Structure 1
Amino acid sequence: MLLGCIGDDFTGSSDLANTLAKGGMRVVQYSGVPDAPADPSVEAGVVALKSRTVPVDKAVSASLKACDWLIEQGCRQFVFKYCSTFDSTPEGNIGPVIDALMERLGAAVTIVCPAFPATGRSIYQGHLFVKDKLLSESGMENHPLTPMTDADLRRWLKPQTKQGVGHVGAAAVFEGPEAIAAGLRREMDAGRPIVVVDAIRDADLFAIGKAAKDMKLVTGGSGIALGLPANLIDPATLKERRTPWHGDGGLAAILSGSCSTMTRAQVERYRADHPSLEIDADKLIAGELEPEEVADWASSAASKAAPLIYSSAEPDRVRAAQERHGKERVATAIEGFFAEIARELTGAGISRLVVAGGETSGAVVEGLGLSALEIGPEIAPGVPALKASDRPLWLTLKSGNFGAEDFFAEALAVLKRRPA
């Protein structure tokens, strides 16, 4: 294995795996830390964790365990992948995990770059933008678990890390890899080894990748991986490495736990002319909803059209439910409910699943016990089709704000697609 990657949630990990697979690497996404060595043919291993919103000590421990396994596989370089909207809190978990990984790998300097221009995420003067809005004005300030209220990544990181936080600005990035590398050395020498690097175009990310050729650890969104495959594999061979996709035409269902602005729009678009069922947090906690009954309804509906089961409520409704029952209780109940529904549905013959939301995706993958996922074609920027390596199950795991309003229908079609 050449490149070892650690993702702090399952949708972000599939996003990163998609970027590397498009870049020509042979990629496998692992659900948690494997208990056996990787297949020798794997060039990039992505260990997907559910560590974004767990307590800091648990996030650090899980990330180090993943790092140790990847070291054992012989990786030359490592990537810590977090969301392109930098989901975190003032306490962590991004900064503490970066500190721990740098120490474990002996990395003197690292890059922080969650830019992903294809989905409108860019960094300028150290501030993270979502299209033309600052992150803190993009809707992420209403996230139910990790509200982002400050778009200045330097300021957001400082309370999280024991180390200095530096910056390489757009002017240096536009000059290319040598100027970026010089900026990284300058910040490291000044005692600021965690360096936020501006990027507003894919070309910037390719340049950052070249500048990072000899770095032990890089961190960021999936875009940071655009320039890495060419550092590890002969670029002339990269485009010849895509594996043909084999989809499945079996029964399907959609599970949506994300409350992001785009996912809510996707839910409204799909439910307008498809069977749908909302999971109400109050009814769920009161014991008025049973996963078996919901799964029975969905299995029956699936014979005509893929049903949608969703808890993607408006921010005000989410906050009200959290105030009544507690944030953690609501999140745990919804995630556990979706995991059980997924088990019921796949047991009843559903072979295609579209899952929206990072925490929901993690709960579903863990609930189904999926150990590894093969990477298929891209459905939308940052969202690939996936195939379970150990059973006939095709799925996609979508981060909240990714995809267009018709994403659910498009995802079902790609998961069904057979070779030409």
Structure 2
Amino acid sequence: MERLLYAFYGDDFTGSTDVLEQLAEGGVPAILFLRQPDAALLARFPDVRAIGMAGDARSRSPEWMDANLPPAFAALGTSGAPVVHYKTCSTFDSSPQVGSIGRALEIGQAALGGVVPILIGAPHLGRYLLFGNLFATAGGVVHRIDRHPTMARHPVTPMDEADMRLHLARQTGARIALVPIDRIRAGEADADFVKAAENGADAVLFDGMEEADLAAVGQVLLGHRGFAVGSSGVTRALMLGWRAAGIVPLPPELPRALPVERLLVLSGSCSPVTATQIAVARNGGFATIQADVAALSAGSLVEEERLAEAAVEALNGGRVVVHSAEGPLGEDVPAAGATVGAALGRVACQAVLRTGLKRLIFAGGDTSSHGVAQMGIDALSWAAPLERGAPLVRAHAQEPALNGTELVLKGGQMGSAGFFEVVMRGG
């Protein structure tokens, strides 16, 4: 394996494939492991320059993190990569009880040391940080995150605070400084980072509105060996820094995905964006199968088998969506993302094994993380671009029927209204 430039732990699977996309666009070969890699697994990918581990910490408790993140960070820390990145969703949704980014920051700093840079802004995804406040695009309109039509009402981790220092203060006692946009654009990002460290900061949050802001922060990251937290904006910033330093080549010509005749979509997303995609798909000829969420939440194998049989039959027509919801759940409906996602993953696995299906979509962050984990896949590599933040990836598995399967792991907020059709035709 060549000397690694970068290693990351994704707190969900959709965000992890977003990192693969950023690396592929920059000409950096990378592999995403779905379990902690041993020597034999690493040896299968000798030419990569970046490695990742896809996890589901976004939906886990601090106690789970205490048990599971230290060995993951230790493994990545011994890889030789100068930067180990805890990759979060660009909407930074988390809470003290679920997906605590603050707790992950503490664990990573304890394992790897140093003052922790935090970069959330990802202009390529419509995510912006301005004077410490997070904004995100929805329907072409930029909203403060606590007024975002979806994230402010997220069923598990609703975002009711836009100032990310205050948001993190609920999750950690770490002292967090800010390098605001005016200081970044004055060329003082590195000096302010050093000053914050000297003044006792545990972590430093960087604003980011445009790609030039990420490029400036990238120069800071190149001089920082250790642990970093944030969205794929961290990856983008590093890529810009590597390119400016001549470490990576100019962007390569990217391949185009080929069309397929059959597609299965597994959706546990409650996002209005995904609801629109399901409606457009139905109008465009996709069969749609409604899951019994209560039965799946109760662990019903009968319901799983019903969904698998229905999906296999519907694939004779070429295209099908199996979904648990169409839009936000009612306030009296308990969130069950992990259980439903795992069940949909088993349905997907059965469909692939029974039909030889070669391409499928998981829609929803929790659905993707818990669903793919059920499929016996060892690793994922980037295959081709589709739409920003939701690339086509390829599975590497010991099971021949699963090896080479193409997947799209789509966050709830990602994709155009006709995204499912886009995935079928290959862009």
Same fold (TM over 0.5): yes
Match of 2:374 in 1: 367
Following the alignment from structure 1 to structure 2, what is the Cα–Cα distance between the partners of residues 167 and 34?
Answer: 35
Aligned match of 2:189 in 180, 184, 187?
180
Match of 1:254 in 2: 265
CA contact (8 A) 2:296 2:304 kept: no
Residue 199, structure 1, aligned to residue 205, structure 2 = no
Match of 1:383 in 2: 390
Aligned match of 1:275 in 267, 278, 287?
287
Question: Any idea what the Cα deviations from partners look like across 1:200-226, whole Å, max 9, x if unmatched?
Answer: 112211211112112122221112211
Following the alignment from structure 2 to structure 1, what is the Cα–Cα distance between the partners of residues 193 and 297?
Answer: 50
Aligned match of 2:223 in 214, 221, 224?
214
Q: CA deviation at 1:304?
A: 2.0
Q: CA deviation at 1:242?
A: 6.2
Q: Identify if the C-alpha distance between structure 1 residues 78 and 47 changes in structure 2 by more than 3 Å, giving closer, same or farther.
A: same
Following the alignment from structure 2 to structure 1, what is the Cα–Cα distance between the partners of residues 68 and 374?
Answer: 18
Aligned match of 2:15 in 9, 12, 16?
12
Residue 308, structure 1, aligned to residue 321, structure 2 = yes
Partner SS, residue 208 of structure 2: coil
CA contact (8 A) 1:28 1:44 kept: yes
The AA in structure 2 aligned to 1:402 is M
The AA in structure 2 aligned to 1:29 is L
Partner SS, residue 316 of structure 2: coil
Matches within 5 A, 1:75-94: 75-91=81-97, 93-94=100-101
Match of 2:31 in 1: 28
Aligned match of 2:305 in 266, 282, 292?
292
Partner SS, residue 160 of structure 2: coil
Aligned residues: 405
Unaligned 5+ segments in structure 2 are 398-402
Partner SS, residue 151 of structure 1: coil
The AA in structure 1 aligned to 2:24 is A
Match of 1:164 in 2: 175
Following the alignment from structure 2 to structure 1, what is the Cα–Cα distance between the partners of residues 248 and 134?
Answer: 34
Q: Identify if the C-alpha distance between structure 1 residues 63 and 309 changes in structure 2 by more than 3 Å, giving closer, same or farther.
A: same
The AA in structure 1 aligned to 2:310 is W
Partner SS, residue 314 of structure 1: coil
Match of 2:400 in 1: none
Q: CA deviation at 1:385?
A: 0.6
Q: Which moved more, 1:369-378 or 1:246-255?
A: 246-255
Q: CA deviation at 1:111?
A: 1.7
Following the alignment from structure 1 to structure 2, what is the Cα–Cα distance between the partners of residues 246 and 136?
Answer: 37
Residue 225, structure 1, aligned to residue 228, structure 2 = no
Residue 130, structure 1, aligned to residue 136, structure 2 = yes
The AA in structure 2 aligned to 1:410 is V
**% identity of equivalent residues:** 28
CA contact (8 A) 1:24 1:242 kept: no
Residue 46, structure 1, aligned to residue 49, structure 2 = no
Residue 3, structure 1, aligned to residue 6, structure 2 = yes
Question: Any idea what the Cα deviations from partners look like across 1:24-76, whole Å, max 9, x if unmatched?
Answer: 11111111311236233111101111111211122243222222222332212
The AA in structure 1 aligned to 2:237 is G
Aligned match of 2:120 in 114, 118, 121?
114
Q: CA deviation at 1:394?
A: 0.6
Matches within 5 A, 1:343-354: 343-348=349-354, 349-354=356-361
Following the alignment from structure 1 to structure 2, what is the Cα–Cα distance between the partners of residues 237 and 315?
Answer: 43
Q: Identify if the C-alpha distance between structure 1 residues 238 and 64 changes in structure 2 by more than 3 Å, giving closer, same or farther.
A: farther
Match of 2:411 in 1: 399
The AA in structure 2 aligned to 1:187 is A
The AA in structure 1 aligned to 2:406 is W
Q: CA deviation at 1:259?
A: 0.8
Following the alignment from structure 2 to structure 1, what is the Cα–Cα distance between the partners of residues 295 and 58?
Answer: 27
Following the alignment from structure 1 to structure 2, what is the Cα–Cα distance between the partners of residues 211 and 285?
Answer: 45
Partner SS, residue 238 of structure 1: coil
Give RMSD over aligned pairs. Answer: 2.2
Q: Identify if the C-alpha distance between structure 1 residues 243 and 402 changes in structure 2 by more than 3 Å, giving closer, same or farther.
A: closer
Following the alignment from structure 2 to structure 1, what is the Cα–Cα distance between the partners of residues 349 and 385?
Answer: 25
Following the alignment from structure 1 to structure 2, what is the Cα–Cα distance between the partners of residues 244 and 389?
Answer: 19
Normalized against structure 1, the TM-score is what? Answer: 0.90
Following the alignment from structure 1 to structure 2, what is the Cα–Cα distance between the partners of residues 51 and 288?
Answer: 26
Match of 2:79 in 1: 73
The AA in structure 2 aligned to 1:213 is L
Q: Identify if the C-alpha distance between structure 1 residues 48 and 242 changes in structure 2 by more than 3 Å, giving closer, same or farther.
A: farther
Q: Identify if the C-alpha distance between structure 1 residues 240 and 124 changes in structure 2 by more than 3 Å, giving closer, same or farther.
A: closer
The AA in structure 1 aligned to 2:290 is E
CA contact (8 A) 1:355 1:398 kept: yes
Q: CA deviation at 1:338?
A: 0.3
The AA in structure 2 aligned to 1:350 is L
Q: Provide runs of 4+ in structure 1 moved above 6 Å.
A: none
Normalized against structure 2, the TM-score is what? Answer: 0.89
Q: CA deviation at 1:130?
A: 1.0
Q: CA deviation at 1:192?
A: 2.1
Q: Which moved more, 1:117-126 or 1:282-291?
A: 282-291
